[in-house]
Structure 1
C-alpha cells in the first residue's frame, strides 16, 4: 500500500514475474483478473487486450499484418495508435519492469512503438495445458495472435535473426495498468468506447441457442422473431463488408430462386434470416454432387465465388439441398477463370487475389470436404 501511494510499486506484470520465481505470497497479491474490464459491463464475458508492437516490427513494415491478424482472430480494434516519444519511454521503463531485452530470442525487438487496444466479445475457454503454461491469461486468443505472428515471421528468418517483436497483456489487471500509464487522458474515453461496442453487440431478441462455433466475424444465434424461429447474425465492428456481402447474396440468390434462407430483416450490424431445418452431414452420392455442381455453376456463371464453401455451408433434407448459407466471403471475380473447373470454389483463390479469404484458405476447405466426402470437392465433381 505504501509503495502504491508513493508510486513506487512495481507494475502488475513485473510483480507477477517476480512472484513466479521467488514469492508465492506476491502471486496471491496479483491473481488473474476475471472481472469485467469496466464496471458497467459485468454481464459480459468480453475480454480487452493491449498489444504492444516493438521497434523491429515497425522497421520491417509489419504493423498492417499485425492489425489484420488481430482482427482475423476475432478482436475488434478499439485503439490503433503510434506511441509518442514520451509514451515509448513510459512503456520502456514502467511496463514489464523495464525489461525489453531479447529474452530467449537471438535478436532484441526494441522498445514498444505502437499500441493496439482490442476487444474480444466471444473469447473461447482456455485450454488446460495453456492455462498451466500462462496462469494469468484470461483469453487464449491473445496468446494465439502473438504466437501465430511470431511463428509466421520467425520461420522465414535464420535462427540467429529470430526476434520477439510483439508483446501483449495477460488479463484485465495488466490491460488497465497499461492504458492508465500510456493514455491517462484518454482512459475514460477508451472505456466508454468499449462499453458502446459491447452494447451494440447485444441481441435484443430472445435467444434460443448459439449456433456459431468461433464467432470471429459475427455471432450466430437461433432466436424468437415475431412469433417464429429465425437466425440472427450480429457482426462485430469493422466487419461491415462481411454483412454487406451476406445481405447482397441472400437478396440476389433468393430473387433468382436459388436455395438460400429468406432475408427477413437487416440493420447496421446484423441480419435476420429464416431458420432452415435439416442436416449438414450426409452421404455424398451422385444426386447430392449434382445439386452442389448446379449451385456453384450458377454462382460462377454470374461472376461470384463463394470462397468458404464447406460441408457446413449446406443444409439437406430428405437427400435434397434446401439451403446454402454463409456468404460473408462471397465476392465478385476481378478476373474470372475461363472454365468452371478452375473456379476459386474448386481450385482456391490465386496468390494474387487481394480480397478476403477465410482462415486456413483452400487447404482447410479441402480438409473439411475430405473429412466429410472422402476427397476434396473438385475431385468428387471432376
Structure 2
C-alpha cells in the first residue's frame, strides 16, 4: 500500500471525537478561514490576542467563541486530531458549552456574557469578528478571574502580592489599558474583577463557579468566604431538578430516590417565572442534550431530598454520593428506552450550598425554613435510645445501625429505622418473633417504635470456606450451606421468602454460632406458592411480585444475582441442598465444586483485569506506528 494512503488511513484512525482543540484543515490559511466564516454568516468572536492576526506567536492557539447553531459550520474548516498536525491550532467554544466545545464540561463564559459578546461583536480590519471594547475587557476579566486565578499574576486582593512573577501574559497592564479605553475604574486584582463581573450580571452561577474552582484555589477560597462551607450546615440536603421530558415521572423519581436512601422532603413544580430563573441559574444555563441523543428539556420541577446517610448528627454526604444516586436513578428511568430516544431526565445540586442556591431561585424564603424543620424532625426521629459507642458501617438507606451501651445488656447493636422505612422494621420484628425458633435468627433484646436491639455478635468467619475473587463474596462451608438450606425450607413452608440472603449477611459468633443479620426483605410468597427451588429466597429476585421491595445490592439487582445457594458459593446444585440430600454427600461434592468455581472465577477475573492493559498496550503500539508514518508523510 502507498505510504501516503496508509498515512491517511492512520490519521483517520487517530482522529478523536470532536474536541475543543482543533486545527485548520490542510490548504486553509488563517485569513481564508475567517473569510469563509464571514461568507457563511457564522456568529463568532475571536476572544483575545486578535490584534496581530493573521500572525500568531509560535505555540499559541486562537480562541474562538461561536454561536451554538453555527458550530456545525466549522467542521469542514477545522478538525480534531490525536496527533497535532503542523497547522494553526484553535480552541473552539460554543455559546452554551456543547459537547466538544466546552471548558472542562461547562460553558466557557457565563450565558449572559457569551450572548453579549456574540451579539455585539465588531469587525476588526474588515476581516476578524472580535468583542466590542467593553466586552473585550469583561471577557478577559472573566478569563483571568475564573480560568487563570493566581496563575494570571494578579494579586488576590488590593495590596497583595502576585502568586507568580512570570505570568503567561502581562494581564495587569493589558486589563488596565482595556479598562481605560472604556472608562472603567477597576483595580487589577482578582477580587475586584470578580466584583465587577458580579455587579454587571456576568458572573456565572454558583454551581458553575464551584466547577471552575476545582482548578482555581483562589476562587475556591473566595466561595468559602462568601457562601460558607459546602455543607452549608445542612449536610445531606440536595435538589434534584426534573427536566421537562420527565415531568410525568415525578412519582417514579421520588420512589427511586427512596430506594437510593434519600428522603424526599418537598416537590415543587416550577411556574413559568421560576422555570425562567432556574434555567438561567442552574447547570450554567446549559440545558442541551449533552451526551444524550435528545435534550431532556428545561427545568420542570424540584424534588428536594435529604440523604439519610447524613441523618446522624456529625455525619456527612459527599458529592460522590449525590452523583452516584443521580446516575442510578437516571439509569432506571431510562431502562428500556431505545438509544435514539434517550435523554437526560434529571440534574442535581452537588452539595448543600448549591442546593440552597437552587432554592433561592424560587424566591420562597419560607420553603427553606420548612426544610430545616423537616430535617431536624428526621434527626430527632432517628435518635438512638441509648448512648452510642460507635456507628457501624452501612448504606443507611433504611436504617442507621450503631453499637450502644445498654444499662442491662451492655454493648448491644441498635438499629434505628427512618420514618419512611417502618415496614422494614416490622419485617425485622416479625423475623425475631415468628421465626425466633430458628437458630440463625438474631435474638430480640428490646424494641421501640422506630428501633430494635440485638446482641452484639462477634464474627469468627467460621462459615467461610474461602473468599471469591473479583468481589466481596465468599464460598461457604458445607455445614453452613446445609444449615441455610434448612432455614430456607422452614421459611418457605411458613409462606414467606427472604431476599438478599447472601454471604455478606452472615456472621458466625463464637458462642451463638451462625446468624443471618438482615431480615428487612422478609416478605410473603404469592398465593400460588412456587417450588422451593424457584423461591425468591433461592433465586435472589422476586419475578412474581414486581411491586415487592427489592434491595439494590449486587446480590439481587440487575443481572448479577448471587445468593447463599448459588453453586459458586456452595459448590453443589441448589436442588441437591434444598432436597434434603444426605449429610455426607454435600461435603463430598462441595469441595471439588467450590474449587472448580473458584478457579474459573480467578481466571475470568484475571482476563477481565488484563484486557484493558492489553488493549491499551496495543493502542499505544499502533498509535506509535501511525504517528511515525504520519510524520514521515508530512
TM range (shorter): 0.7 to 0.9
Relative to structure 1, the CA distance from residue 291 to residue 308 in structure 2 (aligned partners, 3 Å threshold; closer, same or farther) is same
Task: Identify the match of residue 241 of structure 1 among 404, 419, 423.
Answer: 423
Shift of 1:319: 10
Which residue of the partner structure matches residue 240 of structure 2? 51
After superposition, the CA RMSD in angstroms is 3.3
CA distance in 1 between counterparts of 2:512 and 2:406 reads: 27
TM-score by length of 1: 0.81
Aligned counterparts of 2:342 and 2:561: Cα–Cα separation in 1 = 31
After superposition, the Cα gap between the structure-2 partners of 1:376 and 1:310, relative to the gap in structure 1 and judged at 3 Å, is farther
Moved more, 140-149 or 295-304: 140-149
Does the 8 A contact of 1:231 with 1:275 survive in 2? yes
Question: Aligned partners of 2:560, 2:460: CA distance in 1, in Å?
Answer: 21
Q: Following the alignment from structure 2 to structure 1, what is the Cα–Cα distance between the partners of residues 574 and 208?
A: 53
CA distance in 2, matches of 1:160, 1:218: 39
Which residue, 199, 207, 229 being the options, matches 1:13?
207
Provide the C-alpha distance between the structure 2 equivalents of 1:335 and 1:319, rounded to a whole number of angstroms.
39
User: Which entry has the higher C-alpha Rg, 1 or 2?
Assistant: 2
Three-state SS of the structure 1 residue aligned to 2:404 is strand
Equivalent of residue 88 in structure 1, options 275, 286, 298 = 275
Kept after mapping to 2: 8 A contact 1:50/1:117? yes
Structure 1 residue 230 corresponds to structure 2 residue 412: yes
Kept in 1: contact 2:237–2:307 (CA 8 A): yes
Q: In structure 1, what is the equivalent of residue 349 of structure 2? A: 169
Aligned to 1:282: 464
1:71 aligns to 2:253 (yes or no): no
Rate the CA distance shift 1:149–1:312 in 2: closer, same or farther, 3 A: closer
Contact 1:12 1:174 in 2 (8 A): yes
Distance 1:282 1:94, change over 3 A: closer
**Gap change, CA 1:146 and 1:13, over 3 Å in 2:** same
Q: Is the partner of 1:63 in helix, strand or coil? A: helix
Q: In the aligned structure 2, how far is the partner of 1:374 from the partner of 1:279?
A: 19
1: CA distance, partners of 2:544 / 2:228: 42
Runs of 5+ unmatched residues, structure 2? 1-194, 311-316, 466-475, 579-634
In structure 2, the CA distance between the partners of 1:288 and 1:165, relative to structure 1 (3 Å rule), is: closer
Deviations 1:28-81 (A, max 9, x none): 43359655433xx6xxxx4211100001012xx432332222122211222233
Where relative contact order (Cα < 8 A, 6+ residues apart) is larger, the structure is 1
Tell me if structure 2 keeps the 8 A contact 1:289–1:380: no
Any stretches of 5+ residues in structure 1 without a counterpart? 124-136
Counterparts in 2 of 1:172 and 1:266: CA distance versus 1, 3 Å: same
TM-score, length basis structure 2: 0.51
Q: What is residue 381 of structure 1 aligned with on the other side?
A: 577
1:355 maps to 548
Aligned with residue 377 of structure 2, among 163, 188, 196: 196
Structure-2 change in CA distance of 1:153 and 1:13 (3 Å): same
Alpha-carbon contact 2:526-2:544 (below 8 Å) kept? no
State the 1:352 CA deviation: 4.3
In structure 1, the residue matched to 2:434 is: 252
Match of 2:589 in 1: none
